[in-house]
Structure 1
Amino acid sequence: MRSGAASRLSVGRGLVCVTVAAVAWGTAGATAALAFGTSGLGPLALTFWRMAGGLVLLLAVRAVLPRRPARTRPCEPVRRRAGRVLVTGLGLTVFQAAYFGAVDGTGTAVGTVVTQGAAPVLVALAGRLLLGERLGTGGVVAVTGALAGLAVLMLGGAGSGTVRPMGVAMGLLSAAGYAVLTVYGRFLGREGRDRDAFSTTLTSFAVGTAALLPLAAAEGLWPRTDELPATLGLLAYLVVVPTALSYGLFFAGLTVVRGTTVTVITLLEPVTAAVVAVVLLGERLTATTVLGTAVLLAAVAVLAVTEARGTPAPATAPVGPAGSPDGAGAAQLPARPVR
């Protein structure tokens, strides 16, 4: 039985929580693009400030939340615990930093779509190769469709300048970081070594902040002073809304909404990112870019439906380190890349 707010959350409210989180995550790329312009910061420095600010907020939240009784677990050796924290922390760091690199390299709309579309496909493939999870005919079709959509994006958009290979490569690196994070989380779940999502997110932000500090310092840690108020406002929004608030809403919704349903709802993120990029940032999307985007996102939706039919999910899915449902057997689609 769940306690506290989670036990009082209806499925309808859970859906609202996940929807709001997805839309808020969709504004992260646009916020980063604006921050690049006002601050002069690079992707590594911007990610450092986001993770450092998120860490401070998460520590403040933990200080005021009532302590829940910990689940009884066997004692984990220090070396294995350190390895778990480092892998999840560095995986989240690569995912976050490379995503901002994709936004900087090829724009908000395309960078978000590539990351969001490639991540679940890479998770499905890695789960099949490393964990022996079943992919099935529907999964094969979905993976093939995702690759086709990515090819259309690359071949159709590169000539027009709307799609740049280096930015796409950063998006794929971001998706790979998330795949490592998620598949490792499933492995830990099978061994009974998984931890609650909040604690894992907290330690991951701590590892990311420490790992990014020297890299961000080399790139340029401090923003320009001529537009400092605007930069601070953008950083504050980035830390509070698409980070702390969205994580809280997402984890709350995930307690009562099927992981597969969450996956489909969070396709609102790349759609929101594309709309914001076109309307507010003036990014231009060609017909082939839109076609590739549609094929890629449709493939993710097909993969989600395939998983829903093949693997019945409980009303409350256990949450792994990436905020995704853990599962053995059929390759369950991750709830979403935690932006």
Structure 2
Amino acid sequence: MKQYYAMIAAAGALWGLLSLFFEVLSAAGLTSPQAVGVRTACAAVVMWLWLFVRDRRALKLKTWKHLWYFVGTGMISLAFFNSCYFACIERSTIGLAALLLYTAPVFVMLFSAVLFGEKLTGRKIGALALTVVGCGLATGAFSGGLSVHPAALAFGLASGIGYALYTVFGKFALRDYDSRTITAYTMLFAAIGVLPISQPVQAARIVFSSPQTIIMALCGGVLCTVLPYLLYTKGLTRVDAGKASIVACVEPVVAALVGMLLFGEPLDVGRLGGMALVLAAIVLLNLPISHYTRTAS
């Protein structure tokens, strides 16, 4: 069981590295929606080419009715939450937008309790509280007075719901498909979903303007998109949705570390404390699983 938690934590860490590639692509002239479009398009092309060469059977759907899984993971989740997240940033701050995005575990737990019968245990709720406070501190959302515009709050909460829906739709999809198929179709539908707001022709010109931007686009698509979604979806096969969403919150911790170590963002007690709280939440979720596994064996 530990390896599945490790997969989810690794996925969160890789998502947290995405800021590295976004910095380069933004400096080259890509807007945030364009960067998302490039990321998902590269991920879709790489994933489909890889499966076409290695195992074409993984691209075959059992029935066309199952497309709703991937409309859910790709359009309703990935494309939707990115759009809402950037709309929130435009109306507030990155820190507040990140905090509202990481309300996702709350929604995952609520959805999972209703749809999958997952129990809301005291340990889960405690870990969730640690995660929300920790994310707020790690992202800097609690520093200074926060004056939240109603539209920013609405977009931010919508991004959290959209983020949570990947876990929900992913759980449904896992009943019929493995992580490779789910990731391939998710990226395809996500790329289609962001197409209207990403100005693809202009974005392509910027990406192909230099070898550096091409490499960064591919790295962002493979290392920070294809690989983490494969790992996270695989982890969902053995970890319940509520716990998975909390473990994946290692993402803002890694993102904060990247900002501090590579981009000179301030290192303070609040951020360090926030990281410690998120990691404590992950430990809290893992300890009883490890104990149970040892007892059972």
Normalization by structure 1: what TM-score? Answer: 0.63
Deviations 1:187-231 (A, max 9, x none): 456xx5x32221121112111111211111299645659985543
In structure 2, the CA distance between the partners of 1:310 and 1:56, relative to structure 1 (3 Å rule), is: same
C-alpha displacement at 1:290, in angstroms? 3.5
Higher helix proportion (structure 1 or 2): 2
Determine if the alignment matches structure 1 residue 273 to structure 2 residue 247: no
Q: Please report how far the alpha carbon of residue 238 of structure 1 lies from its aligned counterpart in structure 2 after TM superposition.
A: 0.8
Question: The residue matched to 1:284 in structure 2 has which SS?
Answer: coil
Q: Distance in 1 between matches of 2:200 and 2:43?
A: 22
Distance, in Å, in 1 between the alignment partners of 2:111 and 2:163 is: 11
Q: Report the Cα distance in structure 2 between the residues aligned to 1:277 and 1:170, rounded to whole angstroms.
A: 24
Cα distance in 1 between the residues matched to 2:150 and 2:270 = 15
CA distance in 2, matches of 1:81, 1:252: 17
Whole-angstrom CA distance in 2 between matches of 1:240 and 1:150? 26
Match of 1:333 in 2: none
Q: Please, which moves more after superposition, 170-179 or 209-218?
A: 170-179
Q: How many residues are matched?
A: 287
Return the offset for 1:49: 0.8
1:50 corresponds to which residue? 39
Q: Deviations over 1:222-264 (max 9, x none)?
A: 565998554333212212322334455x379859x96489888
Q: Which residue, out of 94, 106, 112, partners 1:121?
A: 106
1:33 maps to which residue?
Answer: 23
Flag structure 1 segments of 5+ consecutive residues without an equivalent: 1-10, 313-339
Superposed CA deviations along residues 138-189 of structure 1, whole A, max 9, x for unmatched, are: 222233333444566677314499x999989766544322312222333456
- Asked if structure 1 preserves the Cα contact closer than 8 Å seen for 2:246 and 2:281, the reply is no
Alpha-carbon contact 2:250-2:279 (below 8 Å) kept:
no
Which runs of 5 or more residues in structure 2 are unaligned?
none
Q: Hey, what's the Cα distance between the residues in 2 that align with 1:280 and 1:99? A: 23
C-alpha RMSD of matched pairs (Å):
4.7
Specify whether residues 158 and 32 from structure 1 end up closer, same or farther in structure 2 by C-alpha distance, changes over 3 A only: farther
Question: Which whole-Å CA distance do the structure 1 matches of 2:105 and 2:277 have between them?
Answer: 14
Distance verdict in 2 for CA 1:43–1:210, change over 3 Å: same
The residue number in structure 1 matching 2:53 is 64
Counterpart of 1:157 in 2: which secondary structure? Answer: coil
Which shows bigger deviation, 20-29 or 94-103?
94-103
- 1:288-307, CA deviations, whole angstroms, 9 ceiling, x for partnerless residues? 3443443344335434556x
Residue 61 of structure 1: how far off its partner (Å): 0.5
Task: Establish whether residue 195 from structure 1 lines up as the match of residue 185 from structure 2.
Answer: no
Counterpart contact for 1:120–1:300, Cα < 8 Å: no
**Post-superposition shift, 1:94?**
2.6
Specify the SS of the correspondent of 2:198. Answer: helix
> TM-score with structure 2 length normalisation?
0.71
Distance 1:66 1:35, change over 3 A: closer
TM-superposed CA distance for 1:44, in Å, is: 1.5
Alignment of 1:204 with 2:186, yes or no, is yes
Tell me if 1:237 matches 2:226.
no
